[in-house]
Amino acid sequence: MLRRLVVSLLLVVAHRQIGAQTGLAPEGALDFLLPTGARALGMGQAVVAAGAGSDVMGWNPALISRGPREVALNVTQTFATQGGGSDAAGAIVFAARDVGAFGLTFRYVNTGQQDASPGDDGSLPTGTFMQTSMIFGATFAAPFGNHFSVGFTGKVLRIAFPCTGTCNTTTERPQTGALDLGVHYTFNKDSVFTAGAVVRNVGPKLQIQDAPQADALPGRFEFGVATMPRFKDLSPDVRLRAALDVVARLSDNQDLGYRLGGEVSYQNRYQARAGYVMNGPTGSGFSFGAGIATGRLQIDLARFLSESVAPGVAPPTFLTLRYLF
């Protein structure tokens, strides 16, 4: 299985290098690439093979097949929302033994109010507008035997530009759909080594104005490996995890993206995380995070120190509340 996953990655990379057009292909529906989940962000987004919980539905849907039942709330403060906007997501996962797991997600992003363009005579703005987006997703994942899992997610993105006054924005509400398909393989029953792969955001182009100006979705192929090494001198209360992901664009031959992360946990109650992202959709940079479990409640917090942050702007912050039932 590992050999097949590696071969798949190599085939995709070769196709990009040989058959894709030179240059950066335009992409639409970039909301599909917005990262979610404080645990994932704290580990440098390297969760294709190492994720857990409802937030992994946006990274590799196969990972929920053996996970717990839970509800979750994700609140994010990013570049797009620091001007008075908001970014919040909710999720629920219901696992059925020997069958698999079902999940539903919803995300709402509001970039905050902006002034409409003034007239040619330099007059004051004629109104204010904002851009909002809503993403609905449904996931199903099933285990096959004790080691292999498959999952897929269907999702819909709807964009709107509400206006107060007179604006030059479109009155349409463009929308599109996409599919994610992921696989996951565990090489040991105690999850010493795992591998995963996922194809994300495959679907029709997003049309804002007219068909000739429609942009392809931000398709990605991602491959990841993770390990939980065991050391004889290490206390059994301490668990280590390390993960590495490689990300390839499906539309052109741009540079690969890389995600590296690690986690240290104590008694499955306290967690500390750190990671690094290279060529990510929101830039490159380090991330760090922490988590605490209090009974059925899990609280995670993370920050992403992206190199794309402008001077004086706070780094993106992610908060996740998960409740197991």
Q: Give the pLDDT confidence score for residue 11 in this predicted structure.
A: 43
- Residues 163 and 224: their CA atoms lie apart, in Å, by 43
What rounded mean pLDDT belongs to the chain?
85
Over 50: is that where the pLDDT of 3 sits? no
Confidence of residue 61 (pLDDT cuts 50, 70, 90): very high
Asked whether the predicted pLDDT for residue 211 surpasses 60, the reply is no
pLDDT, position 1: 46
Looking at residues 79-101, what average pLDDT do you find? Answer: 83
Please give the pLDDT value at position 82. Answer: 57
Supply the DSSP string of 2-52, one letter for each residue.
Answer: HHHHHHHHHHHHHHHHHHSPSS---B--GGGG----HHHHHTTT--TTT--
In this prediction, residue 116 has a pLDDT band, given cuts at 50, 70 and 90, of confident
**CATH code of residue 234:** 2.40.160.60
In a domain, 137, yes or no: yes
Q: What is the pLDDT of residue 155?
A: 97
Q: Extract the tokens encoding 253.
A: 């031959």
Please list, in sequence order, all residues whose beta carbon lies within 8 angstroms of the beta carbon of residue 202, skipping any fewer than 6 positions away: 178, 179, 180, 181, 217, 219, 250
Domain that holds residue 16: 2-114+128-324
Residue 122 lies in a domain: no
- What pLDDT shows up at residue 51? 76
Residue 110 lies in a domain: yes
Of 10-19, 43-52, 151-160, 203-212, give the lowest mean pLDDT range.
10-19
In a domain? residue 219 = yes
Helix, strand, coil content of the chain in percent (nearest 5): 15, 50, 40
Q: Is the pLDDT of residue 195 over 60?
A: yes
Ranges 75-89, 110-124, 224-238, 275-289: which has the least confidence: 110-124
In a domain, 230, yes or no: yes
pLDDT in tens, 311-323: 667 788 999 999 9
Q: Which two tokens stand for residue 2?
A: 């590992």
Confidence class of residue 19 from pLDDT cuts 50, 70 and 90?
A: very low
pLDDT cut 70: percent of the chain above it: 83
Q: Is 291 helix (H, G, I), strand (E, B) or coil?
A: strand
Neighbours of 224 (CB within 10 A): 28
Model confidence at 5, pLDDT cuts 50, 70, 90, reads very low
pLDDT of residue 172: 75
Between CA 310 and CA 316 the distance in angstroms is 11
pTM of the model: 0.85
Any domain includes 246: yes
Residue 173, pLDDT score = 83
Question: Percentage of the chain surpassing pLDDT 90?
Answer: 56
Looking at the predicted structure, is the pLDDT value of residue 130 above 60? Answer: yes
Contacts 24+ apart (CB under 8 A), 278-282: 279/247, 279/254, 279/255, 280/35, 280/45, 280/247, 280/306, 281/30, 281/33, 281/34, 281/35, 281/218, 282/33, 282/34, 282/35, 282/78, 282/79, 282/306, 282/308, 282/316
The residue that leads in pLDDT, 305 or 308, is 305
| Structural domain total, the chain | 1
Give the confidence band of 189 by pLDDT, cuts at 50, 70, 90: low
Question: Is residue 210 over pLDDT 60?
Answer: no
Looking at the domain assignment, is residue 123 inside a domain?
Answer: no
User: Is 119 within the bounds of a domain?
Assistant: no
- H or E element, residue 275: strand 270-280
Which of 6-20, 179-193, 234-248 reaches the highest mean pLDDT?
234-248
The pLDDT-based confidence of 90 (bands split at 50, 70, 90) is very high
pLDDT score, position 137: 97
Q: What is the pLDDT of residue 21?
A: 39
